[in-house]
Amino acid sequence: MFCSVVSAEDCLEPFSQQHEAVTITPDSDPASGMYHVRVPREFDGMELRLLILSATMKEAKERKEISLPLAIKTRGELTGSFFYMSSNWLNVRVAAKYGEGLCTELVAEFSM
């Protein structure tokens, strides 16, 4: 297994923006609780390297931040992932990270 750690300090010019090509949509069956993420396989000549889901969890009287990687799946021209949205999640954010240094990210946000 190969692991690499990159921090914001390693990026000469980190780039992050909300982008219409990154989408979060509910599954066609609302009862499933599943959401689909679609992202470009490449951006400005850089390959998609990582998908990160972040959300705020509402528990009783406090809120907790979570962040986890999503599996990248490609089928034909579609690239993305899927996840189950818990009913206590607020402010979901998906970041698609591109390039060797993961310094370029395209973002979509979804609020409950």
Overall number of domains in the chain: 1
Return the SS3 of 89.
strand
Tokens of 15: 């780039």
* C-alpha triplet 34, 36, 37: angle, nearest 5°: 145
Token digits of residue 98: 């591109």
Q: Confirm whether 5 is domain-assigned.
A: no
Read off the pLDDT of residues 64-86 as tens digits, 9 standing for 90 and up.
999 999 999 998 888 999 999 98
Q: What are phi and psi of 30, to 5 degrees?
A: -60, -25
Q: Is the pLDDT of residue 55 over 90?
A: yes
pTM of the model: 0.82
What's the confidence (pLDDT) of residue 1? 35
Q: Does residue 7 form part of some domain?
A: no
Q: Flag whether 8 is in a domain.
A: no
Of the CA atoms within 13 Å of residue 103, those in its CB half-sphere come to: 10
Query: How much is the pLDDT for 9?
Result: 52
Selection from 106, 110, 81 nearest residue 93 by Cα? 110
CATH of the domain at 89: 2.60.40
What average pLDDT does the chain have? 86
Question: What is the residue range of 27's domain?
Answer: 13-110
